[in-house]
Chains A and B, each alone.
Chain A
Amino acid sequence: MTETVHPPLPAWDESDRRLATDLDRLAHAEASSAPAGMESRVADRSAPALREAPIPFARVLARSPMRIAAAAALLAGGAIALVWLNRQATTPAAPEAPVIATTDSDLDGAVAAWLTVAALDDQDPIAAELDLLYAETARLGEGFEWQTGPDLTNGRGSM
């Protein structure tokens, strides 16, 4: 059977007890010496702190509805940031060339439309290509129905 060994407690004698009682009396005297109205002044000064205490962020998050709202806001923000980053990283697609269908009777109108588009676009290679198209269509004359598109350049050599 094991025996628990406790450290020896201090042995109090009568003079220790008397001194402890004197200390209690001293403490009571100090407490009694508090200026009149001390408690009231302390309460007046400290009570506003009860109501005006700022709620720390961690405490706000600890409240369930606030936690849900904060998590939702965080997720939404993250999604927006991801979309924005994705857009920044993606190379913008080349603009499609305008596709203009013409009929035989409106060949001149189609060419004029192409020239208008070319005028809006300041890229010289396209303008030059449209000039070539204009010349080709003028040479081929009526009955030719054509479309423009990205592959037109390849077809130009075979015309």
Chain B
Amino acid sequence: MMNNKGFNLHDALFIGFCATLLVALKGMLRLKLGLSGHSMFLMSFFYLICYGAVGKRGAISLCGLLAGMMAMTLGVGKGGPFLLVKFGLPAIAMDICLLLLPSLLALKWRCIILALVGTLAWASKGLIEGLLAGMSTQVVALQFAKSLLFGSFFALLAAMLVPPVLERLRSHDLIDREEI
């Protein structure tokens, strides 16, 4: 269940932990897989862990913006200030989706839907960038479709991993959410 109470220290630590680990892993691994959309794996995974562990509105957005600011400061990835959009946009989209998502839906399905919504927002960023740069509509649409397809694949992979990880965190008493 989502609630609107402010973040406590426990929540803040989890949000910071997810953002830091996301940026640190991205920075350390510097994966050059040549596969479009693989960055959605880590991003979806940590945003969904943050959602599961904190369970409060705005937690994912905060995590995304924090990760974006950290990536910008540390120079992880290309794009300068656009990194804030790159990390923040999927997170904000996920949070907006949570406002509409029925809380009775099983956690696994919620994770899958949120991961897909995040990927849509992430792929839209490329779409807007392409259009602003004056690329042809056909090319931009093709790139968008490709990003969406591959991004969704990696995001779904991450979404499937999240419920068992949350279950482990709960069994170690690190999170206290009955629904998990």
Task: Answer yes or no: are A and B bound together in one complex.
Answer: no
